[in-house]
Amino acid sequence: MTRKPFICGNWKLNHGLVETQAVLRAMAAEASTYSSVELAIAPVTPLLAAAAQVLQGSALGLAAQNVHHQDKGAFTGEWACHHLSELNVGYAIVGHSERRQYFGETSAAVGQKVRACLDNNLVPIACIGESLQEREAGQIWDVLKNQMDPITAAVQPDEAHRLVVAYEPVWAIGTGKTASAAQAQEVHAQLRSWLAGAFGEDVAERVRLQYGGSVKPSNALELLSEKDVDGALVGGASLQADTFLGIAAAAFELA
């Protein structure tokens, strides 16, 4: 089964208003060139409304870097899925390793956020990944399974095709180190096997699996050539239009 490649840029805590508008305009001007690839950018949350205005009518989608699982309530500093929908945001990144590491986000909370996204017609980009210490200790499969279980438990088989899972080894995020294409494929193949166990093989074949961790134009083609690598969640290389679109071009070449 052919899965549409999906490249999403995560700007983290970078770019102010003027630079956000300028970079998005440059990206949007070229996005339709890569029509067989799904593209999205996640700017800083306070600039989502301004970003939505820039991207209106373009082929470049808009993502949020986080979301709360409740619709409303006494949750100072948070925002709900319906707030994102009102801004024409189509995706939400949940469970990023930086959220887990710096803000104490648990795997159970990630499952709740996945459920909230699906209930509000947002595409959840659910992140998982092991640390270097966990990999070297031979704990990679236990760690990833423990992160995956609440995600699959939150999803019904008939909606699982809307889920995106992003494998981001913590040791490769912002370090310049990248998992080899073979390492990425090994993990992605195991993820698809777990998805098949949860939802059945036919459904599992429809779920897109992104790789994240120092993805750039120079290594994107090799990574995306792997059978079960369906796209990329891109950090630093998504901050400028030329490098992000370079990754999009690699995906387009393979699509």
Task: Single out the catalytic residue among 69, 168, 188, 226.
Answer: 168
- Measured CA to CA, the distance from residue 78 to residue 140 in angstroms comes to 31
Those residues whose C-beta lies under 8 Å from the C-beta of residue 86, and which sit 6 or more positions away, are none
Question: 159 catalytic, yes or no?
Answer: no
Q: How many CA atoms lie within 13 A of 202 on its CB side?
A: 3
SS (H, E, C) the chain: CCCCCEEEEECCCCCCHHHHHHHHHHHHHHHHHHCCCEEEEECCHHHHHHHHHHHCCCCEEEEECCCCCCCCCCCCCCCCHHHHHHCCCCEEEECCHHHHHHHCCCHHHHHHHHHHHHHCCCEEEEEECCCHHHHHCCCHHHHHHHHHHHHHHCCCHHHHHHCEEEECCHHHCCCCCCCCHHHHHHHHHHHHHHHHHHHCHHHHCCCEEEECCCCCHHHHHHHHCCCCCCEEEECHHHCCHHHHHHHHHHHHHHC
User: What is the distance between the alpha carbons of residues 196 and 205, in angstroms, rounded to a whole number?
Assistant: 8
Catalytic position from the list 96, 105, 188, 226: 96
Active site residue 105: no
Q: What residues act catalytically?
A: 96, 168
